[in-house]
Amino acid sequence: MKVIGITGGIGSGKSTVVGMLRALGWIVYSSDETAKLLMDTDPTLQAELLEAFGPDVIRDGRVERAVLAARVFGPGEQQKHDLATLNRLVHPRVIQHHLDLLEQHDAEGTELVAIESALLFEVGLEDGFDYVILVDADPEIRIQRVMERSGLTREHVEARMREQMSPEEKRGLADFVIENNGTLEQLQRATEAIASIVALMPELDVS
Ligand code: ADP
């Protein structure tokens, strides 16, 4: 089974690419989606979040993501500390959940599975994949897209970009790069091209 990593900085367009790959029939697990699922359904994780962040972050058995985001995203030292705590609690569970899914797919004879993670390189996961696809766009375009999408301020977006590995470094580690500086139609064509090439690439012995 080929296991493909998909990554890219905030606003690069990786969620859009994931949507396009799914439409092409790819099985793609998103680390963000898995984190949300586990935060809403895993009682052990919920108990740990409650202990770390206090009762405000859980309501009616679900994690209040807006409250949590306000706590962990921002320039302050406390926010950085809280983000590290959140990552320490959530990341290992997301990785384990994906490993279980990969094992299941492998046993079922699935040919290709992809996992999207914004922090794939930051967490040092690249060796677990046959190939890694990086989605990238110019910083200014990324800032504008995120501001439009989320209403976050420029300072906020730039702070989050600074927390991530630089695009130059990511490009050095990726096997394929999808440039997303153009229209959605261009992104669709680039995604289709990369999907075809990856499907033709040999499976590597990465396990
Ligand atoms: P990421 O998941 O990397 O943060 P998204 O895929 O959510 O990025 O893209 C950020 C925003 O930019 C979304 O609102 C998305 O619809 C928009 N977007 C992405 N690519 C393009 C493009 N080529 N043209 C116009 N808008 C785009």
Closest C-alpha to ligand 1, atom 2? 15
The two three-digit tokens of residue 115, written as one number: 């996992």
Mutate-to-test residue for ligand 1 from 15, 16, 136, 164, highest number of ligand atoms within 8 A of CB? 16
Examine the pLDDT at 53 and tell me if it is beyond 90: yes
| Distance from the alpha carbon of residue 148 to the mean position of ligand 1, in angstroms | 10
Interval between CA 107 and ligand 1 midpoint (Å): 34
Average per-residue pLDDT for the chain: 94
* Residues, the chain: 207
Give the model confidence (pLDDT) of 143-159 as tens digits: 999 999 988 899 989 98
Give the domains, in start order, of the chain with CATH numbers: 2-200 (3.40.50.300)
Euclidean distance between CA atoms 70 and 50, whole angstroms: 15
End-to-end CA distance of the chain: 10
Give the model's pLDDT for residue 145: 97
What is the distance in A from the centroid of ligand 1 to the CA of 184? 8
Residues 6+ apart with CB under 8 A from 67: 56, 57
pLDDT of 17 over the 70 cut: yes
Atom number of ligand 1 nearest to Cα 14: 3
- pLDDT confidence bin for 207, thresholds 50/70/90: low
Select from 134, 145, 184 the residue to mutate for testing ligand 1; criterion: most ligand atoms less than 8 Å from CB: 145
